[in-house]
Structure 1
């Protein structure tokens, strides 16, 4: 006997319909192919790791074990995103500012010892300002420059700004996320601040379009 999937409306045998979560108490009428596609779409949606059961009126959240039973490859992506999100919530944690390094670490000394040396690549960064280390300035002097009370130096521009990959005009990153939009009206190009990946491609292809060294790649 075959069962019709309530999403794709194709008929499959019973074993093709997985139990979505361990706590779901409804029948399994969504085929494994559709469940896989659903999980993949959620993972590609702005690093979304809170995945609800796709059944209507079911509020259960898919846990790590649920996803692992359904698709081990998608579980690896999910687990990576979950790790990145968990680490980013630790106040003392900082990602390495070397674009070729995908490492990060907890810096317990905090602002009292702002120079943070990556344990993986040995590149220095500023814990306080979360940028590559400003070699010629103390944190206090750098803050004065950043606030505009002194003439910006070329060193400041190199550390605080990045050229838009499309138009080449340097733009300043604020305190928001790494999803950037060029503020030039004739450009408006969207890209990842860390790896310069095109956000139009990320929307179409998911987080796999980030460079492999980027913390958002999964």
Structure 2
């Protein structure tokens, strides 16, 4: 049976209680004790403690009380230990509950933080999606702006290319016109060469036939010296007369000096029959023949020169250049080349009068006639010159 005590006694209090219980024991008289000890020593040898019966009873009672107190203290200590163990168990349970509650709170807090983090991530993703959408809208707007600017640049570049193309077309038309004129001149020269080649071929055939005939007949009489010679060393004129080489050479030189073509029986004898002639002599003789065949021939305006100017030395419709003295002659008035319209060029004067009547303007650079149909006075000729249509002055010099 557990002993109940009114108050808990700690181990330190139990020791103090034992000390108090021992100190209340009665003490013997020191004088009596010393007498008794002397008596004992004197009677029985060694000293022995002799207590009275009352003292022994009191001592036994004290011992019993002390044992009871010790048992009580032990019981109280055991009860205290059980209570401490119970309190420790309760404390442990409380601590476990507290730790469990703390873990639950931490789990709830962690869950709350996780929900908060998820919410923030959702908001971040939403904001990022919004930013991405805004960025995409901005990129689309920028691309649209760039596309508009690119289209505008392409349109301007296309306009510039159209303008350059128009200028090139105008230049190409002018070049084609010049090429057409050059081709016509070359065709005329080629036609002349073909005719001459045909003439030479015809003459060659005739000569071949004649040589074949001469080969059969062998000797002929010279029409000048009346001496007979081998036909292989003689030349036959188109009129069937024969000439020895010396007389033929003399006849062609006399014709060149007299500036009259060499004729026989009223027929001109071509210079190619003169096989021993030099290239310079042939060129001078052909030039003389061209001069004689040219209607109204043109001569160099330099009085110290005065040579014939063939059509190959013409420069445009107005002038001709002399290769001998490098002078330039007007083809209309046959005087040295001059600027402006030649007074003897009636057709150009009439065209100038018509231009003045219609208000046309001449380009200050290339002198081409320009007519304004619409627009401002700023004119651009096909030669790239810019001038005022009203005054005719250079547009770059107008302040």
**Where on the TM-score scale, by shorter chain, does this alignment land: which range?**
0.3 to 0.5
Q: Which has the larger radius of gyration?
A: 2
- TM-score where L is the length of structure 1: 0.38
Higher relative contact order (Cα pairs below 8 Å, separated by 6+ residues): 1
Compute the TM-score of the two structures, normalised by the length of structure 2.
0.23
| Structure showing the higher helix proportion among its residues | 2
